[in-house]
Chains A and B, each alone.
Chain A
Amino acid sequence: MMSTVAATETTLTKKRHLLDLQDWSAEEILALFDTSDVMAQVMQRTIKKVPALQGFTVGTLFFENSTRTRLSFERAARAQSADVISFAAGGSSMSKGESLKDTLKTIDAMQSDLYVVRHAVAGVPYQLAKWTDAIIVNAGDGRRAHPTQALLDAYTFSREFNGFDGFKGKKLAIIGDVLHSRVARSNMTLWSKLGAEVSLCGPSTVLPKELEFAGVAISDNIFEAVEGAHAVMTLRLQKERMQAGLLPSIAEYQTRYQLSEAVMRLAHPEALIMHPGPINRDVEIAGVLADSERSVIEKQVANGVPVRMAVLYTLLVGKK
């Protein structure tokens, strides 16, 4: 009896999730980037498939629709020969008499080893992690976190920035609706953890009032934020923000916060332009910049698969 309990406890403490990057060390993240390099090579081959995850089942559990992210994860799982089960769950299921826990328990009966979870409300991946023995990967929860997006952003920067020599001394500027952005939140967590300086910029109505992070600056002035930046990331402007009274108009936003060539002139000469997509051309970013040589927007999408392959591999098989 005693030994069973002890064994369960060990597996529990050993089990690793990707709920938020706060629980991952800089070393683990850099190791994950190395694994991503290996995965990227796999994706260059004629036959883009390895048997690394053969016998494992990955369930994608998307309570909020996101075809891009789901396909990227499913590709990452299948390229490693894992079986994939996709669940498209509606919003709140209590109307059908089922709690979130009930929904998970039903799906859990199909025995996935790992769930990729997307939900419109922050914290759901944490709640699910309490109710299942499977590993949970957060694919975006509310405005809280989108760790794999941040990982692929930082990975892309580290592999694309000319003469990259580490994150120390680098500056990332994030421009837009920072408050409602899980991408911004995860990126500020990750880049500051890796030693970079992060500067958040947007209209004051959509900026956090206070932050618990060291090394993160908040400004409503885009020139100040972009000055000397090695990477400039603009966020998609959701049109609902205008209706919610958070922003006056698109025109005013374009004037004050659009990433333009004039603004980019203040950045580091080698600075890269990033965007988590999908872009509103000529709203948050000038179209010419999105298409320019400094833009790595398409690289970000392409790197989504190898980085997610590395995440699945690291969590299911562990680093060797």
Chain B
Amino acid sequence: MRTVIKNARLLDSEADYGLNDLYLKDGLIEGYNLGGEVTEGDDAAGKTVTPAFIDLHTHLREPGQEVKEDLCSGLSAAAAGGFGTVISMANTNPTVDEPGLVADLIAKAKAVGQARLKPAAALSHGLKGELLTDFAALKTAGAVMITDDGIPVADSHLMRRACEYAAPLGLIIQTHSEEPSLRQNGVMNEGMVSQRLGLPGNPSSAEAIMIYRDCELALMTGARVHIAHISSRRGMQVVEWFKEQGAPVTAEVTPQHLTLTDEALAGFDPIFKVAPPLRTQEDVDYLRDALKRGVVDNIGTDHAPHTQAEKEQDLVAAPFGIANIELAFALLYTELVKTGELSLVDLLKLLQSGPARIMNWPTPKLKPGQVADLVVLELEQSYPVEAANFKSKAKFSPWDGQKLTGWPVATFIGGKQVFQRDS
């Protein structure tokens, strides 16, 4: 199979190759402007082609929570969002704490044929924070990351041993850093707004304290620790401080923590309930500034789908999480690039080379011989978010109806087109 994408602006996080015809062959990038016979062809005039994005933080809910999402809906949603590879979180039912479950997920995802799946495995059995899982066997089965994400690891001794054990295996530990005894039953950021709304708050100190512990353990053990979804100024400052001292830590932020504040809860809609919580404008500004200063290593979506009924409960009963993988790029492009805060290349870095470097994967580039996982972006057009048409099972969104610019219009995985936006 040989495909050509014509007249596209080719861009990756390292170079702008200008307008070219891009040839794909046998799942790889063949080269530019080669000519000759093709099986399929597309004209991408006015569009931009770049390596498909990598999401290190996706909740796909399989096994056991298929009412919220499954591999088919979730990986299709990922592809529709321009993501070529996603790491699935292990907080499913059962939790992904056995090698057989990892192997199952990989086999099923292959059959789905959408975005590529690299599963994360649980750090502790059942995410109970008591006993370590078999890291080596999980790695052999295909797990690429160890994490109890969704539930903070409360026991510092367990976290220390996890770090020590993972370090020689070259496994990355990802942490959901919130000190449970301090966050308590908080449903939103603790501050002026939670005070006004009368909702139990979760102070950013709960995040900063746990990030401190996790970074300290990374420094102590030499383990690669990836701090997920940093939401607060204080949390980010702790990571920066440890980075300056050479701790082997990396930092992730999410689209929601870069674009929404705790004021979003003013209408008491649990759609905005997320962990860690949406913070203040000051925090959002600080996180954006951290992006500009290059302190952030990747943007992870923390795509966390739930059913609409689960979100139509009171704010304590409703679960944490926002489904966003299909609009993440358009949201970031609209809020950060179009406003001039961040260059397009810097945004691409956070979705391509950044996450790849964290995982020790090759940098995604538009070079001949590279795997043809590509996304075609329409950077000039604006369309409203239509949550009802999401591939994800969570067909509602905090941004529903909002006009965003920069939608993915086609996605190729291994040279094969798996997504085409309906115009």
What residues make up the interface of A, taking CB atoms closer than 8 Å to B? 92, 94, 99-102, 119-124, 126-127, 141-145, 182, 185, 208-212
Contact = CB atoms under 8 A, between A and B. Distances in A.
B315 A121 contact: yes
A210 to B, nearest CB: 6
Contacts of B383: none
7 contacts: A102-B312, A122-B197, A122-B198, A123-B314, A126-B267, A212-B195, A212-B196
B194 to A, nearest CB: 9
Contacts of A101: 309, 312
B312 A123 contact: no
B197 A144 contact: yes
Contact of A182 (B198, B268, B316): B198
B271 to A, nearest CB: 11
B169 interface: no
Contacts of B310: 94, 99
A212 B314 contact: no
A123 B196 contact: no
**A100, A122, A142, A208 — which one has the most chain B CB atoms within 10 A of its CB?**
A122
B199 interface: yes
Given A94-B309, A99-B309, A102-B309, A124 B314 contact: yes
Contacts of B192: 210, 212
Interface of B is mostly: loop
B202 to A, nearest CB: 14
A212 B312 CA distance: 29
B268 A126 contact: yes
Given A94-B309, A212-B192, A100 B314 contact: yes
Contacts of A124: 268, 314
B317 interface: yes
A121 B195 contact: no
Contact of A143 (B198, B268, B269): B198
A141 B312 CA distance: 16
A143 B191 CA distance: 15
A20 to B, nearest CB: 9
B314 A121 contact: yes
B312 A142 contact: no
B315 A208 contact: no
B313 A99 contact: yes
A174 to B, nearest CB: 15
Contacts of A127: 268-269, 312, 314
Given A94-B317, A101-B312, A127-B268, 15 more contacts: A92-B314, A94-B310, A99-B313, A100-B314, A120-B316, A122-B197, A123-B199, A124-B314, A127-B312, A142-B198, A143-B198, A144-B198, A145-B198, A208-B195, A210-B192
A123 B267 CA distance: 8
Contacts, number: 65
Contacts of A211: 195
A212 B196 CA distance: 8
A92 B317 contact: yes
Interface in B180-203: 191-192, 195-200
Contact of B312 (A100, A143, A145): A100
A46 to B, nearest CB: 42
Contacts of B268: 122-124, 126-127
A261 B197 CA distance: 35
Contacts of B199: 121-123, 142, 144
A119 B198 contact: no
Task: Please classify how large the interface on chain B is, using the bins under 10, 10 to 19, 20 to 34, 35 or more.
Answer: 10 to 19
A185 B314 CA distance: 20
A144 B192 CA distance: 13
B93 to A, nearest CB: 15
Interface in B306-364: 309-310, 312-317
A235 B186 CA distance: 23
B379 to A, nearest CB: 36
Contacts of B316: 120-121
Closest 3 pairs between A and B when the two form their complex, measured CB to CB: A144-B198, A123-B268, A121-B314
A144 B195 CA distance: 9
Contacts of B317: 92, 94, 100, 121
Contacts of A141: 198
B315 A123 contact: yes
Nearest to A131: B312
Nearest to B184: A244
A209 B314 contact: no
A263 B192 CA distance: 31
Most buried by A among B191, B192, B199, B268: B268
A142 B196 CA distance: 12
Contacts of A182: 198
B196 A119 contact: no
A6 to B, nearest CB: 21
B248 to A, nearest CB: 36
Nearest to B317: A92
A101 B195 CA distance: 26
Nearest to B316: A121
Contacts of A145: 198
A96 to B, nearest CB: 12
Contacts of B309: 94, 99, 101-102
Contact of B315 (A99, A122, A185, A212): A122
A122 B316 CA distance: 9
A39 to B, nearest CB: 29
Interface string B143-184: 000000000000000000000000000000000000000000
A99 B312 contact: yes
Contacts of A100: 312-314, 317
A122 B187 CA distance: 11
Contact of B314 (A119, A143, A208, A210): A119
B195 to A, nearest CB: 5
Interface in B10-42: none
A279 to B, nearest CB: 23
A25 B299 CA distance: 46
Contacts of B269: 127
Interface string B247-285: 000000000000000000001110000000000000000
Contacts of A122: 197-199, 268, 315
Interface string B195-219: 1111110000000000000000000
A236 B269 CA distance: 30
Interface centre among A102, A123, A141 (most CB of B within 10 A): A123
Nearest to B196: A212
A210 B201 CA distance: 13
